[in-house]
């Protein structure tokens, strides 16, 4: 199903949807090389104009209205709401509502129950009445979907804070979890860092079960007002779900008899854990959800709102707000300056901007200052590893990001920074840290090594998206590409990464995209990395990838892939053409030596025709992910940096030519090209349609 412009759905297949999307593009005229050069020059000028005076770039990071709703709910809970903020948030949430009364988690997507409930409650806080037409439509749709009882756990936690749901009817997460040792099969470090930072404060909230007076009733969102909290049947006792459901029942019993001294000690330990991880800017992990729950947990333990920790935390949440010209206020789930800056630097350099251009030097200087030189939670699994990574955000020293670190190094190597010794030292530290974060299977996750426990995802509490951080093809590809350009393409650890990537290729030639949508992103990451590492373009894996990319090109010359590809196989590789996804496809084809082909020329022509007069591109579609399908992201800078990178490589050729191979030869390390060309059995096919 695909969404129509009025928010309804129509039975239109993915190919038809891609072809029937309204297009702003018109065919370009003239020599395609000259067209590409003009488009590149316009894009360079635009992107240079977006740089901050300090050297960084940052585009808006757009998600869905749960961020805005939970911000209002937090202010209501703490008693710090103000009319101006509430009105601005209400205006934004109202503007995101679809004609059928629902809210989606991504542009053009279907209505989503929990998001719609939270959007509805937020508008009630903003003064909208249940009998207003847009509210009545939302409430009716919520009831049709089963009401509040069918929403995710996190939504019901927010409702429980105000007495709209019973704490007894929520999964139990005891604060004693903080005591479980690191070797235990399920401990706080079994979770991905984003889930860990959220769950620890929620153990305090779950133990204390606070209820603040609700400003209104929500009977209209229940299907049975007399019994609004129905009990769901248990799964079979022999199943994992059944086992964890029964453990949850036991934990509910423990909640009633937990020794007060033990519980108080556990909550104090959790509070110390939280406070120790507060960043210099007052936030936690650079992301909004852990900051929200940490503020609530500490407040419940007696931290006054004027306490330095609380004051800094609340001030950090204000920095997630984006005020728009229409007076509305959007909350970012996170901010991405390091990621955006390294990608912008790569794009400008590959587009032909001089390595010593002041903008690139200033960007490199800012990135060098952002390197993290102290240990964080990643050291739990790698205690002997020296730090040296980069995070995604302005302030997040506890959780450097392997993906960011690889791309920052690739960006720094494109800049002629005047202090070459400082540059080389930073790159060496970053590369060494990245190598040390390799998982046992030879691949890399985003934040931790070997974060692959099967248990966290089984917990009844964890129904809000991915809660572990297993290795992914896109992160592994970026690391392999970086190591190759550092002359380490034949290093044994790089070779293990290459072998893992080859084994993860789908039967049709694509790679799954964990942090970008989806197979177009995974393939656009993997092919350039493998070629950079010495895999010849004649290798069967590269040929299959090229065949797949060319087979999913849209009739208009662009590429697109809908987020529904994470759920429905028919959407894989299909969707309305977007600037970022067209660029990813082109990056794969260009790396594979397909520059002089109709597919590439049509893709370049589409980018040039879709470009605005100011050199930018528009892209309402969400092409990034936090959790595939469950939490989608529209990175507003993706539509600028990736098309420029693709155009630049089309005009100027592949980046850093010859440097990596020459360096590898000096190291006697050019063995990557000899990787076995037989295709290992793919272990990734089961992801399709999951």
> How much is the pLDDT for 263?
95
pLDDT band at residue 250 using 50, 70 and 90 as cut-offs: confident
pLDDT by residue (tens digit) across 86-141? 999 999 999 999 999 999 999 999 999 999 999 999 999 999 999 999 999 999 99
Q: What is the pLDDT of residues 153-167, one digit of tens each?
A: 999 999 999 999 999
The whole-number pLDDT of residue 28 equals 56
Which region holds residue 557: left if phi is over 0, alpha if psi is between -120 and 50, else beta? left
Phi, psi of 330 (to 5 degrees): -105, 140
Torsion sign over Cα 376, 382, 385, 391: negative
Q: Could you tell me the pLDDT band of residue 458, with boundaries at 50, 70 and 90? A: confident
Q: How far apart are the first and last CA of the chain?
A: 17
pLDDT above 80: residue 21: no
Q: What number of other Cβ atoms are within 10 A of residue 224's Cβ?
A: 11
290 pLDDT band, cuts 50/70/90, is very high
pLDDT average, residue stretch 53-74: 97
Q: Among 21-25, 166-170, 488-492, 577-581, which stretch is predicted with the lowest mean pLDDT? A: 21-25
Predicted confidence (pLDDT) per residue in 297-353, tens digit: 999 999 999 999 999 999 999 999 999 999 999 999 999 999 999 999 999 999 999
Per-residue confidence band for 660, with pLDDT thresholds at 50, 70 and 90: very low
pLDDT, tens digit, 9 for 90 and up, residues 2-20: 333 333 333 334 443 443 3
Q: What is the pLDDT of residue 224?
A: 73
* Average pLDDT over every residue of 685-690: 37
What is the predicted pLDDT for the residue at 421?
A: 96
H/E element holding 196?
A: helix 193-208
- β-bridge pairing 329-331 and 61-62: unpaired
| Catalytic residue list | 403
DSSP character at residue 230 = P
Structural contact between residues 618 and 555, judged by C-beta atoms closer than 8 angstroms: no
Architecture of domain 64-331: Alpha/alpha barrel (1.50)
This prediction's pTM: 0.90
pLDDT for the residue numbered 249: 81
Cα distances from 600 to residues 34, 232, 537, 547, 558, in angstroms, run 15, 53, 16, 13, 9
């Amino acid at each position: 199903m695909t969404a129509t412009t009025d928010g309804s759905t129509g039975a239109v297949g993915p190919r038809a949807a891609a072809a029937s999307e309204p297009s702003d593009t018109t065919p370009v005229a003239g020599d395609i090389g000259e067209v590409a050069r003009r488009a590149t020059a316009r894009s360079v000028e635009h992107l240079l104009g977006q740089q901050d005076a300090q050297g960084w770039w940052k585009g808006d990071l757009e998600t869905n209205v749960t961020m805005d709703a939970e911000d209002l709910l937090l202010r209501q809970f703490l008693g710090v709401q103000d009319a101006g903020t509430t009105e601005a948030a209400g205006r934004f949430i109202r503007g995101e509502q679809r004609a059928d009364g629902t809210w989606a988690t991504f542009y053009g997507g279907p209505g989503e129950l929990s998001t719609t409930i939270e959007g509805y409650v937020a508008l009630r806080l903003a003064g909208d009445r249940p009998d207003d037409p847009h509210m009545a439509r939302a409430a009716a749709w919520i009831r049709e979907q089963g009401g509040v009882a069918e929403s995710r756990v996190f939504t019901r936690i927010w409702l429980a804070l105000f007495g709209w749901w019973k704490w007894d009817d929520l999964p139990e997460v005891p604060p004693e979890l903080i005591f479980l040792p690191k070797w235990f099969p399920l401990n706080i470090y079994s979770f991905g860092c984003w889930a860990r930072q959220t769950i620890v404060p929620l153990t305090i909230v779950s133990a204390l079960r606070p209820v603040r007076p609700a400003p209104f009733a929500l009977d209209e969102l229940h299907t049975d007002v007399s019994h609004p909290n129905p009990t769901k049947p248990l799964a079979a006792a022999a199943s994992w779900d059944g086992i964890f459901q029964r453990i949850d029942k036991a934990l509910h019993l423990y909640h009633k008899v937990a020794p007060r001294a033990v519980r108080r000690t556990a909550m104090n330990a959790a509070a110390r854990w939280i406070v120790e991880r507060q960043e210099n800017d007052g936030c936690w992990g650079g992301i909004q959800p852990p900051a929200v729950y940490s503020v609530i947990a500490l407040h419940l333990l007696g931290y006054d709102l004027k306490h330095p920790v609380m004051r800094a935390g609340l001030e950090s949440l204000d920095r997630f707000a984006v005020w728009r010209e229409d007076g509305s206020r959007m909350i970012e789930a996170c901010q991405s300056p390091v990621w955006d800056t390294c990608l912008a630097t790569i794009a400008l350099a590959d587009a032909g901007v001089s390595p010593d251009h002041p903008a690139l030097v200033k960007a490199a200087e800012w990135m060098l200052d952002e390197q993290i030189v102290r240990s964080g939670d990643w050291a739990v699994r790698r205690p002997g590893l020296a730090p040296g990574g980069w995070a995604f955000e302005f302030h997040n020293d506890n959780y450097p990001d392997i993906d960011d670190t690889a791309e920052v190094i690739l960006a720094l190597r494109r800049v002629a920074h005047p202090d070459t010794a400082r540059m080389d030292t930073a790159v060496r530290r970053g590369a060494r840290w990245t190598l040390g974060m390799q998982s046992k299977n030879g691949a890399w996750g985003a934040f931790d090594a070997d974060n692959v426990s099967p248990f966290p995802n089984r917990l009844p509490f964890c129904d809000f998206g991915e809660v572990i951080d297993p290795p992914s093809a896109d992160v592994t590809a970026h690391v392999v590409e970086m190591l190759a350009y550092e002359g380490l393409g034949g290093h044994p650890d790089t070779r293990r990464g290459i072998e893992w990537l080859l084994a993860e290729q789908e039967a049709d030639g694509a790679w799954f995209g964990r942090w970008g949508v989806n197979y177009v992103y995974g393939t656009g990451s993997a092919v350039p990395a493998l070629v950079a590492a010495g895999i010849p373009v004649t290798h069967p894996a590269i040929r299959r990838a090229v065949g797949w990319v060319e087979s999913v090109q849209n009739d208009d010359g662009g590429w697109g892939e809908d987020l529904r590809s994470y759920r429905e196989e028919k959407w894989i590789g299909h969707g309305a053409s977007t600037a970022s996804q067209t660029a990813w496809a082109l990056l794969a084809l260009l790396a594979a030596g397909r520059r002089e082909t109709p597919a590439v020329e049509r893709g370049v022509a589409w980018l040039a025709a879709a470009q605005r007069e100011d050199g930018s591109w528009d892209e309402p579609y969400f092409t990034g992910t936090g959790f595939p399908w469950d939490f989608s992201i529209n990175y507003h800078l993706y539509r600028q940096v990736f098309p420029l990178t693709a155009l630049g490589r089309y005009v100027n050729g592949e980046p850093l030519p010859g440097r990596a191979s020459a360096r590898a030869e000096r190291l006697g390390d050019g063995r990557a090209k000899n990787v076995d060309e037989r295709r290992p059995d793919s272990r990734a096919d089961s992801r399709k349609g999951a």
